[in-house]
Structure formats: structure tokens, C-alpha cells
Chain A
């Protein structure tokens, strides 16, 4: 059609201009180097071999000069290698797959809610609405205690759930990697709500009979972004301790979390949070790079706790009846967006190609200094990463990030499908998403992955990984029996 084609051709032209610009700026050094080398080559050819030999003989090198130069070079190289941060490798990880016995279909969830909250029909209706729009599927799982009407969460039940989830994930990890428990030098367990004494890390050490000089840490209260905080802690520890293995266990124990009151802001977590856990093996041992799946490139942590609204936006508190629950404020999405912007401001320069950074800088200069009325330039992160793992906090979070970062449906597919199959598993959701990408066979050597997690506080943490070797779809893992069914279309509103 004649009307469409000028627009089409102009947009195609623009695309090529953009591509050309990116290629030019990102490879500027290569492009500058080539003419210089050509120039040198021409000069050498022009001079001829005799002239070159004369030039070489005229340079007087005596022994001291040679020795000093070599010494300097060796010294510089040694200092460089010694002060370079150790490479941290992710050897492998294992996600917990809950058994069918713990499955909660929508109909069962709603019926139990009706019976438990029989005097609060409005609260039941509210939960129905949340569940319909949540993006969860019918195979998400809740712990055994929550299947009872009414649930009676005891400390023992919470410990049972913790043992079930953590030990399953650990067993799976030890099996996959061939790691012996006695070889673990650093153990970090993060679980936000359930924090018993002795700690969950002590529970793991007891079960697996780990060494007495193990360095163990237990992070609690840090929300859904605690998984990446643990990775960051492991990385820092692995810089200090040479030739070490670190195991990070990320989970959230649901049993103490089931709120039985009627405050709406506190009922939302009931609808979204589900059982899950992951165990990750990190190492700084050089020879592991042969079999390691990923290399940790950056971890960027952003904390908005200084702002009162951000601090209060996810709050564990008692409702007027004295029942404890986690209250989510209405400003959650706005605060998450701001936290993300702050995180990107630090992450961007670390990962974006020069072309994007230049454009961002130019628009920034234009807007601030020359007061031009330009829109703020949103860098194209798709140029920096092949895969995105966005914490499956809920459908709204994924939608918000997809819009903010201008990602396509395929980029957020891992997050949406993990939310559908496993629900919001808190700090371990990033690992289910990564597992999805691997199960689909999309992970190739050299691919860069961006994991973004949000958590109470309010925090936004990013981890950037580089794929170390091409990964075949694994023969085990949480997606094994259902990956062929995915991706599924998730309707806006599910009819219950």
C-alpha cells in the first residue's frame, strides 16, 4: 500500500541508522585501530627489509635495561593478577520441587478460605479477586499445615517444612555436583519470616555433619531480595578465602506466614506466596571453571530504606485483632519503580554498551544543561543481556518491569511461567526462572543474564551472570515433567 510504505521505509531506514550507530560506537576502538595498523603496515612495506634491520641494530640494548624492563613487566603483571578480584563461578544449583500431595487448586483454596473466614464474606470475595488476577496456575503448592481447615501453624510444623524444602534442595545439589558436605567452606541460608534458634544454617550443618570450621551465616528478615544479598555475601567471602566452596540456600517458609485475619492488605500474601527453595553452589576454585555453569559478573544492591514510605511499604505487623501478617502498601508498585530506577543508574554504566551510554549522556546533558524538553532516554537493556530473570513477585511487578525496561514478551516469559507454575516463592523464584530458561534450551555460552529482585526495606538488588558453557536441557529439575506444556497463555482474569 502506497500510504504504509513511506512510513515503513522510514522506520526501516531508522532501524538501519540505529544499527549503524551502535556498531560504530561499540567497536570504535577496533575501527580506530584498523587504519593505524594499515598505516604502519604500509610504512613498513615502504621502508623495505634492509631499512628495518638497520633500525633494529641502531637500538642499543644493554643487559641492565633489558633486565629492568622485564622485571617491570613481570612486576606489573603479578600486581595485576594478585589484585584482580577472584572469579566467582556458579557450579550448579538445585530447585525444590514440591510433591503432588501439596498441590492447591484454585477451587480448594477458595473453599478453604470460605470456611476459615466464614464470618467475613467480603474478605473471601477480595481474595477471590486477587487470585483470579494473580497469574498463578493450579499446580502451586502450600505446606501440609495450610491444607487443614483451619490451619494450625506450630513451630514444629514450620521446622518440618523447612527440613523438607531445604534438605530436598541440598540433597539434589549434592547429587548433581558430587560435592561432599565436608567440602563446604561457607554456608549461607536466607529465610525471611521463619527464624528459629538454632538457626536454619545450624539445622543444615547438623543434618549433613559439616566441618567444625565452616563459616555459616543465617539471614532473616531481608525479604524476597535476600537471595541476591546472600550471593553478594558469598562473593565477598570468597574474595577473602582462597580455594573455597560456598553453598547458598534461599527459601521462604510459608507455615508461619498464613494470615487468618481479615485485613485486606495482609490477605494478599496468602494468595501469592507458595512453597519453594533453592540451593546454589558457588566457588572461586579455578579448575571449576570447566564445569561451572555461570560466572558472577556484578552484584548491585540498592536500598531505599532512608525514605519512610519505602521503609513501611512491606511491613510485618499485628492487625487490630492481634493476628500477625505482612501488610503490603498501595504504593508498592511506585516504590518498586523508583528503586529499580536507582538500581539501573548504577547497573547501566557497568553493563550497557558504549552506544547506549553515550546516548543517555547526551540526552542527560541536553535536558539538564541546555534545558531541552527531551524525554529521558531509557537505555535499551536488551543490548546488554540475553536473558532476564525478574522476581516473580506478582503479575503487577512483572508487568511494571516489562514496561519500564521495554522488554518483549519472550524476555519476561521465564518470570511469568515461573509465577504460573510455582507461584511467588520469594527469594528462590529467580532460580526457578533460570531453570526454566535452561529447560527450554535457550542458554548458550556467553549469554548474559540479569537477575532482579525486590524485597522489603525497600530493596532492589541485581545480579549479573555470564553463561560459562552451553547448557543442555537438564535431565532433572523442577520443570522436567511440565516444560513441554509451557509457555501457556495466562488470561487476564481466570474464571473461578
Chain B
């Protein structure tokens, strides 16, 4: 591994586990819905940076102690994947625990954030994969990395099968809340019910947003042999830039929304890069609070839809594309659930990257995690296990900024082109 300043900088990894404060009980099972199983090859990676003032005087014990009460509320996160008699995966809530990783970095946080290569952020989240020892793989890793200047980053590795970004974000925010001695709710509903009944009727139509992979058995890792290497890049769109773009490219009748506009820009740019093989169908994924009940804190409640472009994307007007994304979505949740449930969760699928995917995470309370009253100076999410078509996540920018952070996960060669185009054409860096 060449030490380009990124990978070699993080060292001193120490692993330990934290468990729920009280015994969860024998034979408590958290059922996995069809939507959960559709996401099983994806892993969420969230990074939160805290300045030195936020973590001054805190020892590792101070950070770990509140976790025990926290995990009592979210006990399925401490469970492990088991298979029922039919072979369908489920989570056995056996208090296996969440893995905590402690690490050091020999750079200061400013040096780190100034680095050109954004893939280094992967060093701040543990490289999580469920399997090959599936029954003994933790579902959640939390990496705490201390920088030379005293700052700290919190890296959350979360198996998507547990829940969506809203669930993961609320989970980590609750830790901050308990650390600050805010009385946690006595219990949260974690819907330990059995999954919905499987449909055995003939499928009406195959969903575009779901792609079946080769069988991967108990090693839930998207095979990458003969596939291009994926890279990650974070783009920051300030409020001013956003306002400028919105006013310049809104449709004649209605004002575009940030997510739709940014997605349209990315779509068009990629179409330009890919030329002949431009993506005509994209997947749009919306994460919001509206799709879940109060007692469903761990759920994959995204609305997954497809958008088909009947016009040439590379030449199209951005405002038209934005309108398409806003209005012409076809919800594929039902079809996805039917397909996955059809063989009782035995087949393996991906959703992100099956087509070019745009994930709307604007409602996620990204900066809700507070340590000693301080919010993170920067935070973002990325996804591991994304298919070749790539994905874009639109997240809120740091507090007070009003802008957006766009995470691009694409094959590396396309990523370099994208950077240039966005900078030259749109002024986005």
C-alpha cells in the first residue's frame, strides 16, 4: 500500500465491542422485510468531523459509557444475521454488540480535509462486510479516529440491511443525545415482527431499479472482479451557488428544487461523458420521515422510483431534466418487494448502481450528532457496494450554510472527467 499520505496516516487500530446495557432476552428476532433484503449488498459509511473543542477532555470511556444505554434502545443493531429454516435471513438479537474501532491519525484535521483524494475518507470508516462468517459479523462498526491536532472523527459503518440513511443518522444522533445526559426514551419500537408475506403471483413487470447479481452465498460483498474500480468524491455547493443555479435554470412555471436540479446537472454531465451509452433510465431514491411510523426506527423506508428520459440527455436543458425527475417518477417499491420476496430472499440484488442512482437525503438530520454541545464541522455519507452505473447522494451542507454536499460514487475514470466538467461548466468543486 503506497503511503500517499492517506492510507498510511491512520494507524494504531484497536477493536473492542460494546453491548446493550441489559440482557435483550432469548430468542428475540428482528425480521427483515423484502426491502431490507434488497439492500443487503450495500453498506452506508458516514463520517463526522469534530473540532478539538468538541472532544476536549473526553476519554474513550466517556465516549463508550453512554453507548450501553443507547444500544439497549437499538438492540437489533447488536444482533447478528441468522437464517431461518427456509433460508431467509433475519437478525437474531443476541447482544453480540457493536464493534468499536479506535485509531490515530498523524495529520491534523485541516490537513486531512484539504487532501485532494477524497477516497481517503474510507480510512475513517471501518471496511465492513457481512460474511464470509455471516453469523458472527457485526452489523455496525463505529470508528473513532483522533487527529494530531486533537480533533476527532466518528466513522459509522452500517449494513444497509438494518435500515436506511434516516435510520442510521437518527441512530448515531441518539448517541450524542444520551452522552449529553438528555433522558432517552424508555424504548423505541423496533418492529420485531415477522416480515410481510411473500407474493407468489406472477410478476407484473420487472423493476428497472433492481438488478440481480450472481449468487454470493454468505459473503455479502458485491463481486468486483472485471468491474471498474469505484471512487468517491464530495462536492460542496454553497447557498449562493445553489441560488444562482436555481434562478438560472428553473422551468417557466415552477421553481426547481435543489435535489432535482443538482441531480439533473449530474445526469447531463455524465451523459456528456458517456456519449453514446448515456443513461436513459435512472433510479431516484427518496429518504424521508414520512414513510415510516413512529415505532419503526430501523427500516428501509426509501421510495425507489425510476425516471425515463424520452429526450437526449446530453443535449437536454437542465430545467427539463429537473422537471422530469420531479414529476415523471414511477414508484417501483411494490415491484422490488415482489421480486425479492418471490424466492423468499434467496437471490441477491443491488439497488444503488443498478442504474445511475440519485439519492435524496435532504431530510436527514446530518448535523444532529452533538458532542459536548458542538455540532460536526463537516459530515457526509457514502455507500459501499454500489454497482457500476454509480450513485449520487444529495445531503445537507454544514449548519448555517444552507447549501448541499453531493457525494459522487462512480468508476474512477468517470470521476476525473466529472470533476473537470463540473468545475468548468458549473463552477462546482
A: which residues have CB within 8 A of B? 100-101, 103-108, 110-112, 114-115, 137-139, 144, 147-149, 495
Report chain A residues within 8 Å CB of B96: 105, 107-108, 111
Q: How far is the CA of A104 from the CA of B20 in the complex (A)?
A: 10
> What is the minimal beta-carbon distance from B142 to any residue of chain A, in angstroms?
14
Report chain A residues within 8 Å CB of B65: 101
Summarize A's interface: helix, strand, loop or mixed: helix
The answer, yes or no, to whether B291 is at the interface (CB within 8 Å) is no
Q: How far is the CA of A138 from the CA of B96 in the complex (A)?
A: 11
Q: How far is the CA of A495 from the CA of B14 in the complex (A)?
A: 30
The residue of chain B having its C-beta at the shortest distance from the C-beta of A494 within the complex is B26
> What is the minimal beta-carbon distance from B59 to any residue of chain A, in angstroms?
11
Q: Are the CB atoms of A103 and B136 closer together than 8 Å?
A: no
The answer, yes or no, to whether B21 is at the interface (CB within 8 Å) is yes
**B19-39 to A contact mask, C-beta < 8 Å, 1/0:** 101110010000000000000
Report chain B residues within 8 Å CB of A101: 61, 64-65, 68
Given A107-B95, A148-B15, A114:B133 Cβ within 8 A? yes
Which of A105, A115, A144, A148 has a CB less than 8 Å from the CB of B97? A105
Give the interface size bracket for B toward A: 20 to 34
Which of A108, A110, A495 has a CB less than 8 Å from the CB of B19? A108
Which of B19, B61, B80 has a CB less than 8 Å from the CB of A103? B19
Which of A105, A114, A144, A147 has a CB less than 8 Å from the CB of B95? A105
> What is the minimal beta-carbon distance from A104 to any residue of chain B, in angstroms?
8
Q: Are the CB atoms of A111 and B17 closer together than 8 Å?
A: yes
Report chain B residues within 8 Å CB of A148: 14-16
Q: Are the CB atoms of B15 and A107 closer together than 8 Å?
A: no
Would you mind naming 21 contact pairs between A and B with Cβ atoms under 8 Å apart? A100-B21, A103-B19, A103-B21, A103-B68, A105-B95, A106-B94, A107-B80, A107-B94, A107-B96, A108-B17, A111-B96, A111-B97, A111-B138, A115-B15, A137-B23, A138-B23, A144-B61, A147-B16, A147-B17, A148-B15, A495-B26
B: which residues have CB within 8 A of A? 14-17, 19, 21-23, 26, 61, 64-65, 68, 80, 94-97, 133, 136, 138
Q: Are the CB atoms of A107 and B97 closer together than 8 Å?
A: yes
Q: How far is the CA of A103 from the CA of B68 in the complex (A)?
A: 9
Q: Are the CB atoms of A105 and B16 closer together than 8 Å?
A: no
Q: How far is the CA of A110 from the CA of B68 in the complex (A)?
A: 19
The residue of chain A having its C-beta at the shortest distance from the C-beta of B67 within the complex is A101
Report chain A residues within 8 Å CB of B21: 100, 103
> What is the minimal beta-carbon distance from A267 to any residue of chain B, in angstroms?
18
Q: How far is the CA of A144 from the CA of B96 in the complex (A)?
A: 17
Q: How far is the CA of A112 from the CA of B19 in the complex (A)?
A: 13
Which of B15, B19, B133 has a CB less than 8 Å from the CB of A149? B15
Q: How far is the CA of A138 from the CA of B17 in the complex (A)?
A: 15
Report chain B residues within 8 Å CB of A111: 17, 96-97, 136, 138
Given A100-B21, A114-B136, A149-B16, A105:B68 Cβ within 8 A? no
Which of B15, B23, B138 has a CB less than 8 Å from the CB of A105? B23
Q: Are the CB atoms of A108 and B97 closer together than 8 Å?
A: yes
Q: Are the CB atoms of A138 and B95 closer together than 8 Å?
A: yes
Q: How far is the CA of A495 from the CA of B136 in the complex (A)?
A: 15
Given A105-B95, A147-B17, A148-B15, A139:B61 Cβ within 8 A? no
The residue of chain A having its C-beta at the shortest distance from the C-beta of B68 within the complex is A100
Q: How far is the CA of A144 from the CA of B95 in the complex (A)?
A: 18
Q: How far is the CA of A35 from the CA of B23 in the complex (A)?
A: 64
Q: Are the CB atoms of A108 and B95 closer together than 8 Å?
A: yes
Given A111-B96, A148-B14, A105:B19 Cβ within 8 A? yes
Report chain A residues within 8 Å CB of B17: 108, 111-112, 147, 149
Report chain A residues within 8 Å CB of B97: 105, 107-108, 111
Most buried by A among B19, B23, B64: B19
The residue of chain A having its C-beta at the shortest distance from the C-beta of B102 within the complex is A148
The residue of chain B having its C-beta at the shortest distance from the C-beta of A495 within the complex is B26
Report chain B residues within 8 Å CB of A149: 15-17
> What is the minimal beta-carbon distance from A102 to any residue of chain B, in angstroms?
10
Q: How far is the CA of A58 from the CA of B15 in the complex (A)?
A: 97
Report chain B residues within 8 Å CB of A114: 133, 136
The residue of chain A having its C-beta at the shortest distance from the C-beta of B15 within the complex is A149
> What is the minimal beta-carbon distance from B71 to any residue of chain A, in angstroms?
10
> What is the minimal beta-carbon distance from B295 to any residue of chain A, in angstroms?
25
> What is the minimal beta-carbon distance from B70 to any residue of chain A, in angstroms?
12
Q: How far is the CA of A111 from the CA of B97 in the complex (A)?
A: 10
Q: How far is the CA of A139 from the CA of B19 in the complex (A)?
A: 11
Report chain A residues within 8 Å CB of B16: 147-149
The residue of chain B having its C-beta at the shortest distance from the C-beta of A481 within the complex is B22
Nearest 4 CB-CB pairs, A to B?
A105-B95, A107-B96, A107-B94, A149-B15
> What is the minimal beta-carbon distance from A143 to any residue of chain B, in angstroms?
12
Q: Are the CB atoms of A105 and B61 closer together than 8 Å?
A: no
Report chain B residues within 8 Å CB of A103: 19, 21, 68
Q: How far is the CA of A111 from the CA of B138 in the complex (A)?
A: 9
Q: How far is the CA of A114 from the CA of B133 in the complex (A)?
A: 10
Q: How far is the CA of A139 from the CA of B68 in the complex (A)?
A: 13
Q: How far is the CA of A321 from the CA of B138 in the complex (A)?
A: 31
Q: How far is the CA of A148 from the CA of B23 in the complex (A)?
A: 21
Q: How far is the CA of A105 from the CA of B61 in the complex (A)?
A: 19
Q: A111-B97, A138-B23 given. 12 additional CB < 8 A pairs?
A: A100-B21, A101-B61, A103-B19, A105-B23, A105-B94, A105-B95, A106-B95, A107-B97, A108-B97, A111-B17, A114-B133, A495-B26
Report chain A residues within 8 Å CB of B14: 148
Report chain A residues within 8 Å CB of B26: 495
Report chain B residues within 8 Å CB of A137: 23
Q: How far is the CA of A100 from the CA of B65 in the complex (A)?
A: 9
The residue of chain A having its C-beta at the shortest distance from the C-beta of B72 within the complex is A100
Report chain B residues within 8 Å CB of A115: 15
Q: How far is the CA of A149 from the CA of B94 in the complex (A)?
A: 19
Report chain A residues within 8 Å CB of B61: 101, 144
The residue of chain A having its C-beta at the shortest distance from the C-beta of B95 within the complex is A105
Q: How far is the CA of A286 from the CA of B16 in the complex (A)?
A: 52
Report chain B residues within 8 Å CB of A147: 16-17
> What is the minimal beta-carbon distance from B387 to any residue of chain A, in angstroms?
31
> What is the minimal beta-carbon distance from A284 to any residue of chain B, in angstroms?
42
Q: How far is the CA of A107 from the CA of B19 in the complex (A)?
A: 10
Q: How far is the CA of A138 from the CA of B25 in the complex (A)?
A: 9
> What is the minimal beta-carbon distance from B168 to any residue of chain A, in angstroms?
22
Report chain B residues within 8 Å CB of A495: 26
Report chain B residues within 8 Å CB of A100: 21-22, 68
Report chain B residues within 8 Å CB of A138: 23, 95
Q: How far is the CA of A495 from the CA of B23 in the complex (A)?
A: 15
Q: How far is the CA of A19 from the CA of B150 in the complex (A)?
A: 77
> What is the minimal beta-carbon distance from A127 to any residue of chain B, in angstroms?
14
Q: How far is the CA of A106 from the CA of B94 in the complex (A)?
A: 8
> What is the minimal beta-carbon distance from A161 to any residue of chain B, in angstroms?
13
> What is the minimal beta-carbon distance from B342 to any residue of chain A, in angstroms?
32
Q: How far is the CA of A147 from the CA of B97 in the complex (A)?
A: 11
The residue of chain B having its C-beta at the shortest distance from the C-beta of A152 within the complex is B14
> What is the minimal beta-carbon distance from B104 to any residue of chain A, in angstroms?
15
Q: How far is the CA of A368 from the CA of B19 in the complex (A)?
A: 60
